[in-house]
Structure 1
């Protein structure tokens, strides 16, 4: 999610607060569920959302209303985060529910403890499955199917086979906040990487890299970018040889196909 101005400052401060009070496991998971619930409520109740983001309303009044509305319905830790959130300035009223959803993503990632790498790999794998399976992609995006029906489909595919956090985030991707399920899963991978202070790279290869090659590539990218890089490896039949690395807007194309294209352009010129 892209936050700007006061909203970006608010999200940064709230993330620090969340990290300070959140451990891992069930407590973090409960906090995440509560934040996501409140995010959906604020989207469906525009009058409440406008009230709690109105700079002319005293902070005490805004905190009082959210406690009245959500007390007993959400995790106590979530209520503390929400009270802090409504006391901050937001560039747009819609940024508040987006921010709470983002915080729920962070809490879900933190609930995995030492399994963040596995979570990232599972999100990437499921995202590739969705992209490569038109039937599944259509089933998850079909507006005629209820979210509960789609969630049941996710359970049938992932329950008992993936981390609970993976299942939670895949179900959360069905909410429609992001343009597509695939876009949501890609965003969740970025959140997971940020939690462990990593970058994310998609590595396209003609055949799987060996463990040694992955280690060397990871070390080279870490030196280049100044932080650890999580590698998502994708075997692509369009890659004739070599590798293509995508990190955000950066593309490092060392494939044979790329070199052939360069040669053709040189001859044509």
Structure 2
């Protein structure tokens, strides 16, 4: 994790020079539309533009798998350090700060992929490091679509065991909500507010089987009746 002390050490050790000029944002954002390769789905926002451009660049350089692994690792690094996102969004970072942060990100995430290295440096050069968490999320969405995955998010009051998750996955995979040839990407989120039961989200569909939902419906029925 990048503690305050670690960040100070990085800042002190950083070379006192600007990041060497690279092709500006046109090499990732504006150039995306000019590429023959297109992402399988459209993702929106500035972070979506960068994520789409990175996907295009990775496919063009035959580095899509190592790029996907690097982005997954970056996402894990960001998730572990809440202070890091705040640091990335600091508007007063010097070029030396940015260079040090990019180097530390590459080190912690084990980034050896030149496509991702260049991408991170381009983000730093264009003062866009602050949107890196969003880029990681949008890139994950693109990769899921490219792999033919359908996201199955199960929200429960308590963590479900692997056997229960496996049974739910099997049942949903045979349903009309999952197209032929598609694979389920299963995640289990815990939310005590559901009280009991489940909230199942399959792609853009939601099936609310929670106790809290049933209570809300009962309260509405009683209110309307009275």
Alpha carbon RMSD of aligned pairs, Å? 4.4
Match of 2:197 in 1: 242
How many angstroms apart in 2 are the aligned matches of 1:187 and 1:173?
A: 19
State the number of aligned residues.
178
Give the alignment partner of residue 25 of structure 2, picking from 40, 51, 54.
Answer: 40
Match of 2:9 in 1: none
> Structure 1 stretches (4+) deviating beyond 6 angstroms?
118-121, 176-179
Match of 2:56 in 1: 103
Structure 1 residue 186 displacement after superposition: 2.0
How many angstroms apart in 2 are the aligned matches of 1:222 and 1:244?
A: 16
How many angstroms apart in 1 are the aligned matches of 2:75 and 2:188?
A: 9
Match of 2:170 in 1: 219
Match of 2:154 in 1: 203
SS at match of 2:155: strand
- Give the structure-1-normalised TM-score: 0.49
How many angstroms apart in 2 are the aligned matches of 1:200 and 1:178?
A: 27
The structure showing larger relative contact order (alpha-carbon pairs under 8 Å, at least 6 residues apart) is 2
Give the 3 Å change call, closer, same or farther, for CA 121–147 of structure 1 in structure 2.
Answer: closer
Q: Is the 8 A contact 1:39 1:98 kept in 2?
A: no
Deviation by residue 1:78-112 (Cα, 9 ceiling, x = unmatched): xxxx5x57xxxxxxxx9x98754332355554237
- Give the structure-2-normalised TM-score: 0.56
Give the 3 Å change call, closer, same or farther, for CA 121–100 of structure 1 in structure 2.
Answer: closer
Q: Is the 8 A contact 2:25 2:122 kept in 1?
A: no
